[in-house]
Homo-oligomer: A and B are copies of this chain.
Amino acid sequence: MTGSLIIAGLGPGSDALITPEVQDALAQATDIVGYIPYVARIAERPGLTLHPSDNRVEIDRSRHALQMAAEGRRVVVVSSGDPGVFAMASAVFEALEAGPEAWRALDIRVLPGITAMLAAAAAAGAPLGHDFCAINLSDNLKPWALIEKRLRLAAAADFAMAFYNPRSASRPVGFARALEVLREACGDARPVLFARNVTRPDQTLRIVPLSACAPEMADMRTLVIVGNSATRIIDTPRGPILYTPRSA
């Protein structure tokens, strides 16, 4: 038996957003590895072993997955969203690079998924309709100064911005500081989308100007999108549509 390691994206929440390619990989897996809530999305079946693990153990989880693949298992590491966007793919490659030379001969593939910013943008309209950037606001693995530098340069470039991991119980302060930086750089009127639990039954969308943003509007289940200078709102009887024109 030849082992393999697939790093697969489950999309933001709804099963209707899991690609057939990923469904097929899950159906053929012998072992599923991932953070507890993501592994909980996988149906149990004979011949499949689930290996849920806690948050913040990404490198241990990656080594475990690589080791099982080296032993001949068909391992799928599941990520929320897209595995290559602030998710497990980079962690697996960090573990691969630091690990035994033999691991490099493994069949390793990344299968893309719908990352949260695409689903959040679609739910609100098309705020990422022109040039944009994606920033992880967590300073667990990088200094806050680098985040703030990127915010200022992204504002100067007039990118729309998508923020992942905006605020957590252990990092209550950073997002408040990010809002201050953005208000200085972009003014009070810039529209901001808070998309929580996107594509899930309890999805909520809020569109507010920067002046009305409060840090408490975001948590780890919230994807935040800040428009660029051309981002507009169309008022409709069904609610506001937030979009960035193609010429921006």
Interface residues of A (CB under 8 A from B): 11, 14-21, 24, 58, 82-86, 89-91, 93-94, 96-97, 104-105, 107-115, 118-119, 121-123, 125-136, 141-142, 146, 149-150, 153-154, 156-159, 232, 234-238, 241, 243-248
B84 touches A110 (CB 8 A): no
Contact partner, A97, options B85, B97, B232, Cβ 8 Å:
B232
Given A112-B114, A122-B89, A153-B153; A131-B134 close (CB under 8 Å): yes
B246 touches A84 (CB 8 A): no
Contact partner, A112, options B118, B136, B232, B238, Cβ 8 Å:
B118
A96 touches B241 (CB 8 A): yes
A130 touches B89 (CB 8 A): no
CB neighbours of A237 from chain B (8 A): 104-105
Choose among A18, A122, A237 the residue with the greatest number of B CB atoms under 10 Å from its CB: A122
A-B contact list, 18 entries, CB within 8 Å: A11-B19, A18-B19, A19-B114, A83-B122, A83-B126, A86-B129, A89-B126, A89-B129, A90-B129, A91-B246, A93-B129, A94-B243, A94-B246, A96-B234, A108-B238, A108-B241, A112-B119, A128-B134
CB neighbours of A245 from chain B (8 A): 90, 93-94
B14 touches A142 (CB 8 A): no
Given A110-B125, A131-B135, A149-B157; A118-B82 close (CB under 8 Å): yes
Q: What 17 additional pairs, Cβ within 8 angstroms, besides A131-B134, A141-B247? A: A17-B21, A18-B20, A19-B19, A82-B122, A83-B122, A84-B127, A85-B129, A90-B129, A93-B126, A93-B241, A94-B246, A97-B232, A104-B236, A110-B126, A114-B114, A128-B134, A153-B154
CB neighbours of A18 from chain B (8 A): 19-20
B16 touches A19 (CB 8 A): yes
CB neighbours of A150 from chain B (8 A): 131, 157-159
How many Å lie between the Cα of A96 and that of B236 in the bound state? Answer: 10
Chain B nearest CB from A122 CB (Å) reads 4
Contact partner, A114, options B86, B91, B105, B113, Cβ 8 Å:
B113
Q: 10 shortest A-B CB distances, which residue pairs? A: A90-B129, A89-B126, A133-B133, A153-B157, A110-B122, A16-B21, A104-B236, A93-B243, A112-B118, A112-B122
Given A17-B21, A112-B17, A114-B113; A131-B122 close (CB under 8 Å): no
